[in-house]
Structure formats: structure tokens, C-alpha cells
């Protein structure tokens, strides 16, 4: 029997309730879901790669199914091929996400036509959540408890305390 493997890539800096929603739902679509935690040169991470790996592993520990967390620093399609994936899972929040993701899916299909991209719409209540905005709110002392788990909120607060809040 061949397992259907999917990959859900992201920086997860930090992992949000929106990410968790996509992971829970994505895990139901495949036999094995690999959460690929990566670096992104265009983003300045609040947490190191190892910190993000630990954070994601802890947060997904209770999700049913075969969910694994690994890091990667390569083209997504090379990573997906190495993991034996036939599906890339991507979450969508808004039309702006769709335009970017549609372009990426087209490029990825040109690189490896054997791997399909599947888009999942975030739950309506979670659609506005973005890691970038969570970090910005936290850096200005705003409440982030509605966007991340309590443990992640505490980690973000501790990091903000360490690096210094803006506007104070």
C-alpha cells in the first residue's frame, strides 16, 4: 500500500491558530502530513529555526494522524520530492493570498508536474490571522491571545520582552 503524503510548508513564525486549522484539516486528506518549517530570506524571523521547529512540534502533538515536523532549506518541490509527497497543502485567507499562491502553484507545477497543490480556505473566524500581524501587534504591546495558543502567546511575549517593545 502506498501512503499518500502531503507537505504543508511555512515559516511558522509563530505558528497561529490559522496554521493549526489548516494542519488539522490537511491531516485528514493524506495518510502522512509533513509540516515543512523553512527559512524565508524576505522575512525577518522573531524565532530561530530550532525554536520554530520545537514550537510547531509541541503545537501539533495532539493532532490525530501521522503528522511530522521537519526543517528544510531548498526549493519546495525538491523538499516535497524527498519526502515522497504528491500533494502540497496551502492555506488561503483572502483574494490577495490566492493570487500569490496561484502563481506559486503554477511555477511549482512547471518544476514538478507529479505534485499537486491543494488549497484549503481558512476557517472564517481565522482568516485575518497572519504571523506577520501577530508579531506586529505583540511588538506594540497589543493582545495576541485570540490568534495563537496560550503557550505560543507566552513565548511571543517573552521574546518581545527580550528584544524590546516598540512605541514605548
Domains, in order of start, for the chain: 5-126 (3.40.50.620)
Higher-pLDDT residue of 167, 142? 142
Sheet architecture: strand order including 5-10: 66-72, 32-38, 5-10, 87-92, 116-121
Q: What is the average pLDDT across 110-124?
A: 93
Residue 19 is among the residues annotated as catalytic for this protein:
yes
Diameter of the chain measured on Cα atoms: 59
Q: For position 75, what pLDDT does the model report?
A: 94
Average pLDDT across the chain, whole number: 92
Q: Among 25, 58, 93, 159, which one carries the catalytic annotation?
A: 93
Identify whether 131 is a catalytic site residue.
yes
Q: What is the reported pLDDT for 167? A: 64
User: Which entry of 28, 43, 82, 166 is annotated as an active-site residue?
Assistant: 43
Question: Given 19, 52, 86, 90, which residue is catalytic?
Answer: 19
Among candidate residues 52, 86, 131, 135, the one labeled active-site is: 131
Radius of gyration of the chain (CA): 16
State yes or no: pLDDT of 3 exceeds 90: no
Q: Is the pLDDT of residue 163 over 80?
A: yes
**pLDDT of 125-144, one tens digit each?**
888 889 999 999 999 999 99
pLDDT band at 56 (very low <50, low <70, confident <90, very high): very high
pLDDT in tens, 57-68: 999 999 999 999
Q: Please confirm, yes or no, whether 71 is among the known catalytic residues.
A: no
pLDDT of 1 higher than 70: no
Residue 146 neighbours by CB distance under 10 Å? 12
**Over the chain, what HEC string results?**
CCCCEEEEEECCCCCCHHHHHHHHHHHCCCCEEEEEEECCCCCCCCCCHHHHHHHHHHHHCCCCCEEEEEEECCCHHHHHHHCCCCEEEEEECCHHHHHHHHHHHHHHHHHCCCCEEEEEECCHHHCCCCHHHHHHHHHCCCCCCCCCCHHHHHHHHHHHHHHCCCCC
96, pLDDT greater than 90? no
- Looking at per-residue pLDDT, the higher value among 45 and 36 belongs to 36
Amino acid at each position: 500500500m502506498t501512503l499518500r503524503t502531503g507537505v504543508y510548508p511555512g515559516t511558522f513564525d509563530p505558528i497561529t491558530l490559522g496554521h493549526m486549522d489548516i494542519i488539522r484539516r490537511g491531516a485528514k486528506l493524506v495518510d502522512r502530513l509533513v509540516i515543512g518549517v523553512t527559512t524565508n530570506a524576505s522575512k525577518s524571523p522573531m524565532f530561530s529555526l530550532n525554536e520554530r521547529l520545537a514550537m510547531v512540534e509541541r503545537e501539533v502533538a495532539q493532532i490525530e494522524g501521522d503528522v511530522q515536523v521537519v526543517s528544510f532549506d531548498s526549493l519546495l518541490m525538491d523538499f516535497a520530492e524527498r519526502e515522497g509527497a504528491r500533494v502540497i497543502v496551502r492555506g488561503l485567507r483572502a483574494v490577495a493570498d490566492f493570487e500569490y499562491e496561484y502563481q506559486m502553484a503554477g511555477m511549482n507545477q512547471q518544476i514538478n508536474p507529479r505534485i499537486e497543490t491543494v488549497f484549503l480556505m481558512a476557517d472564517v473566524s481565522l482568516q485575518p490571522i497572519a504571523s506577520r500581524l501577530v508579531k506586529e501587534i505583540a511588538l506594540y504591546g497589543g493582545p495576541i491571545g485570540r490568534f495563537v495558543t496560550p503557550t505560543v502567546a507566552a513565548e511571543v511575549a517573552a521574546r518581545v520582552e527580550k528584544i524590546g517593545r516598540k512605541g514605548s
